[in-house]
Every structure is written in structure tokens, then in C-alpha cells.
């Protein structure tokens, strides 16, 4: 009787051990499933400034560091922003494969006003402001003929704040920036920001010194790129 009793106990213990193993394995599988379901970081929510004051979106340690030299009065820049940048940001910036840095390359005095307004509201607002300015470019830029002689005189006397304020009022940038939640008081304070003005002018000078002579022009990991005009062109140059 002793032998069969031991055998029966061993079978019960074996069954318990197997059941326990199944539970443990199930717990590991559940944990692994939970880990797999954890959403990946969206780098489109990460904003920073370079030591020169340029705005950056994306992973600071991305293997592809893309710089875009642009002008807010440039039609090709508006086309890239509206028709090519979304795919680039979704496939490369959001996933951490690339970061995007924006550097100004002013083409005209009106461009200066838009560049200063794009910076209004801090680094978290910059890329949204930029997109909105490009989306409405045909509206405000089409009113350039409305710029008065008095406003032009401020430019000649190098009173840039007065000039930009006049442009802001006369070509309808006030209502456009209010759509971004930036009041006239805030906008005019941004236009009077001498530190921001120096940054925009210095970025333009830096681009010219680097050999940039048109917009948009792209740099990838420190190397200026030729004939990059679309997302497909940009994608072909990256790691």
C-alpha cells in the first residue's frame, strides 16, 4: 500500500507543478503583451533650441540631423511645408530617425516680419506658427502692395520695430496670428524683441556664409544637399 500512495502523491505534485508552470508562463506572456502594447515615444512633441537660437523638433540624438534654410515669403518653402513636410515628420521625425532644425534665410524685409512672428509664443508654438504662416502665405503676402510709404520710411531709417509693426498692421498679419491665439499686444512685443531680431539676422548671415543661396535648402548631418525639393529627394539622402 505504501508504494501506490507515494505514486499517487507524485502524480498530484506533478500535476500541480505543471499547472503552476502554465500560470507562470501565462503571466510572462501577459507581461510581454503589456510591454509590447506600450506606445512608442512621439518625437514630434519634443522641441528645443540650438545655441544659436534655431528651433528644433524631434530626437536630439537622431541619426539624421536635418537643417532647413527657409524664407516665409518663398513659394517653394510653402509647398514643402504643406505637401512634403508632413510625410517627412511622420516617417522620420516622429519615429526618432531624424530631427529637423529651422534656420532663417531672409529674402526681403517682409520676410523678417513673418520670421519674428513665427517665434512668438516660445519653442512649443514655433512649428505650428510656421505652418500657419505658410498655409496663409498667399493671403498676407498678396497684400504687400498695401505697405505704406511711412512704413517703408521706417525701414530706410533702420527702425525695424516700427517697420515690422507697420507691415503687421497693413498686410493683415494681425488676424492671422490671432488664429494662433497670439493677440496684437503679444505680437507687437515679439516684433520689438531685439534678441530675437539678432538671432534671425545671424541665422541668415550664417546661411549665406555656408553657401546657401536659395530656399528651401537642406543640410543633412552638416553637409549641404543639392537638388532636394521634395520628401522623396530628402528621403533618398538619409540613413
What would the pLDDT profile of 128-170 be if each residue is shown by its tens digit? 999 999 999 999 999 999 999 999 999 999 999 999 999 999 9
pLDDT of the residue at 37: 57
Residue 69 has pLDDT above 90, yes or no: yes
Tell me the pLDDT band of 61, cut-offs 50, 70 and 90: very high
User: 122: which 3 cell numbers?
Assistant: 516660445
Q: CATH for 43-237?
A: 3.40.30.10
3-state secondary structure of 181: coil
Write the Ramachandran bin of 172: left for phi over 0, alpha for psi from -120 to 50, otherwise beta. Answer: left
User: 231: which 3 cell numbers?
Assistant: 520628401
Residue 30 has pLDDT above 70, yes or no: no
Tell me how far the alpha carbon of residue 51 is from its chain's centroid.
Answer: 17
In angstroms, the CA 57 to CA 106 distance is: 21
Instruction: Compare 132 and 21 and report the one with higher pLDDT.
Output: 132
Tell me the pLDDT band of 29, cut-offs 50, 70 and 90: very low
Domain spans, the chain: 1-38, 43-237
pTM of the model: 0.84
In angstroms, the CA 100 to CA 108 distance is: 24
pLDDT of the residue at 71: 98
Please give the share of the chain, as a percent, with pLDDT higher than 90. 83
Instruction: Compare 64 and 34 and report the one with higher pLDDT.
Output: 64
Tell me the pLDDT band of 105, cut-offs 50, 70 and 90: very high
Task: Decide if 113 contacts 191 (C-beta within 8 A).
Answer: yes
Q: Burial-class residue 174 by CB neighbours within 10 Å (0-12, 13-18, 19+).
A: middle
Q: What is the pLDDT of residues 44-55, one digit of tens each?
A: 999 999 999 999
pLDDT of the residue at 34: 46
pLDDT of the residue at 4: 43
pLDDT of the residue at 39: 73
Task: Decide if 74 contacts 216 (C-beta within 8 A).
Answer: yes
Nearest alpha-carbon partner for 219 in 199, 238, 200, 198: 238
Residue 41 has pLDDT above 80, yes or no: yes
Which residue's entry shows cell 503571466?
27
Mean pLDDT over each residue of the chain, to the nearest integer: 89
Residue 40 has pLDDT above 90, yes or no: no
In angstroms, the CA 144 to CA 58 distance is: 34
Task: Decide if 225 contacts 232 (C-beta within 8 A).
Answer: no
Q: Picking from 29-43, 106-120, 197-211, which range would have the lowest pLDDT averaged per residue? A: 29-43
Instruction: Compare 195 and 18 and report the one with higher pLDDT.
Output: 195
Amino acid at each position: 500500500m505504501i508504494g501506490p500512495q507515494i505514486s499517487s502523491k507524485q502524480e498530484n505534485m506533478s500535476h500541480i507543478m505543471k499547472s503552476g508552470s502554465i500560470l507562470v508562463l501565462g503571466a510572462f506572456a501577459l507581461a510581454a503583451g503589456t510591454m509590447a502594447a506600450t506606445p512608442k515615444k512621439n518625437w514630434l512633441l519634443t522641441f528645443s533650441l540650438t545655441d544659436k537660437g534655431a528651433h528644433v523638433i524631434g530626437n536630439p540624438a537622431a541619426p539624421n540631423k536635418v537643417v532647413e534654410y527657409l524664407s516665409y515669403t518663398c513659394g517653394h518653402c510653402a509647398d514643402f511645408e504643406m505637401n512634403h513636410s508632413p510625410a517627412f515628420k511622420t516617417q522620420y521625425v516622429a519615429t526618432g530617425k531624424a530631427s529637423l532644425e529651422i534656420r532663417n534665410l531672409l529674402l526681403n524685409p517682409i520676410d523678417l516680419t513673418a520670421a519674428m512672428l513665427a517665434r512668438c509664443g516660445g519653442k512649443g508654438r514655433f512649428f505650428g506658427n510656421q505652418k500657419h504662416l505658410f498655409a496663409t502665405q498667399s493671403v498676407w503676402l498678396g497684400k504687400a502692395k498695401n505697405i505704406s510709404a511711412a512704413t517703408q520710411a521706417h525701414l530706410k531709417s533702420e527702425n525695424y520695430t516700427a517697420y515690422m509693426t507697420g507691415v503687421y498692421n497693413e498686410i493683415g498679419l494681425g488676424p492671422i496670428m490671432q488664429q494662433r491665439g497670439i493677440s496684437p499686444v503679444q505680437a507687437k512685443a515679439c516684433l520689438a524683441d531685439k534678441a530675437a531680431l539678432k538671432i534671425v539676422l545671424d541665422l541668415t548671415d550664417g546661411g549665406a556664409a555656408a553657401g546657401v543661396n536659395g530656399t528651401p535648402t537642406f543640410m543633412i548631418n552638416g553637409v549641404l544637399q543639392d537638388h532636394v525639393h521634395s520628401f522623396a529627394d530628402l528621403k533618398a539622402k538619409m540613413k
